[in-house]
Structure 1
Amino acid sequence: MKKIVFISGLLLIGVLGAGAQTLKLVKTDSHIEWTGKKIGGSHHGNINFTSGTLVYKENNYTDGVFIVDMKSITNTDLTDKDTNAKLIGHLKSDDFFGVEKYPTAKLIITKGVSTKKGNYEFTGSLTIKDKTNPVTFNVVRSVKEGTQIFKGKLVVDRSKFDVRYGSNSFFDNLGDNVIYDEFELDFTVVFK
Structure 2
Amino acid sequence: MNNKLSITYLILIIAPLFFGCRGPVKNKNNASASPVSLHIGNGKYFIIDTKESVVVWTGSSVHGPHIGYIYISKGELMIENSQLMGGTVEVDMSTIEGDDHRSDNNLIKHLKDSDFFDVKRFPLSTISITRVASINVEDKEITGNLTIKGITHPVTFPAKMEVKDGIVKANGKLVIDRTDWGIHYKSGKFFDNLKDQAISDSIEFHIMIVAKK
Same-fold call, TM cutoff 0.5:
yes
Q: Does 1:90 align with 2:113?
A: no
1:12-161 mapped onto 2 (5 Å cutoff)? 21-57=44-80, 60-76=83-99, 85-161=105-181
8 Å Cα contact 2:54-2:70 kept in structure 1: yes
Measured in 1, the distance between the counterparts of 2:72 and 2:140 equals: 21
Measured in 1, the distance between the counterparts of 2:197 and 2:129 equals: 35
Question: Residues 44-88 of structure 1, C-alpha deviation per residue, up to 9 Å, x if partnerless?
Answer: 10000011111123664332111000000000169xx89x61111
Measured in 2, the distance between the counterparts of 1:111 and 1:57 equals: 14
Measured in 1, the distance between the counterparts of 2:95 and 2:63 equals: 26
User: Taking structure 1 as reference, are residues 34 and 61 closer, same or farther at Cα in structure 2, changes over 3 Å only?
Assistant: same
Measured in 2, the distance between the counterparts of 1:20 and 1:35 equals: 35
- Give ranges in structure 2 of 5+ residues lacking alignment: 1-41
User: Taking structure 1 as reference, are residues 60 and 143 closer, same or farther at Cα in structure 2, changes over 3 Å only?
Assistant: closer
What is the aligned length? 171
Q: CA offset at residue 147 of structure 1? A: 1.2
Measured in 2, the distance between the counterparts of 1:56 and 1:169 equals: 41
Structure 1 or 2, whichever has the larger Rg, is 1
User: Taking structure 1 as reference, are residues 61 and 147 closer, same or farther at Cα in structure 2, changes over 3 Å only?
Assistant: closer
Measured in 1, the distance between the counterparts of 2:95 and 2:193 equals: 32
* Residue aligning to 1:163: 183
* Residue aligning to 1:11: none
- Give ranges in structure 1 of 5+ residues lacking alignment: 1-18
Question: What RMSD over aligned residues (CA atoms) do the two structures have, in Å?
Answer: 2.1
Task: Compute the TM-score of the two structures, normalised by the length of structure 2.
Answer: 0.75
Measured in 1, the distance between the counterparts of 2:152 and 2:50 equals: 24
8 Å Cα contact 1:155-1:185 kept in structure 2: yes
8 Å Cα contact 2:82-2:163 kept in structure 1: no
Q: Secondary structure at the match of 2:135?
A: strand
Q: CA offset at residue 146 of structure 1? A: 2.4
Task: Compute the TM-score of the two structures, normalised by the length of structure 1.
Answer: 0.82
One-letter amino acid matched to 2:77: L
**Structure of greater relative contact order (alpha carbons < 8 Å, 6+ residues apart):** 2
Measured in 1, the distance between the counterparts of 2:209 and 2:89 equals: 10
Q: Secondary structure at the match of 2:98?
A: coil
8 Å Cα contact 1:122-1:137 kept in structure 2: yes
Runs of 4+ in structure 1 off by over 2 angstroms are: 56-63, 142-146
Measured in 2, the distance between the counterparts of 1:126 and 1:58 equals: 26
Measured in 1, the distance between the counterparts of 2:167 and 2:81 equals: 19
Q: Secondary structure at the match of 1:180?
A: coil
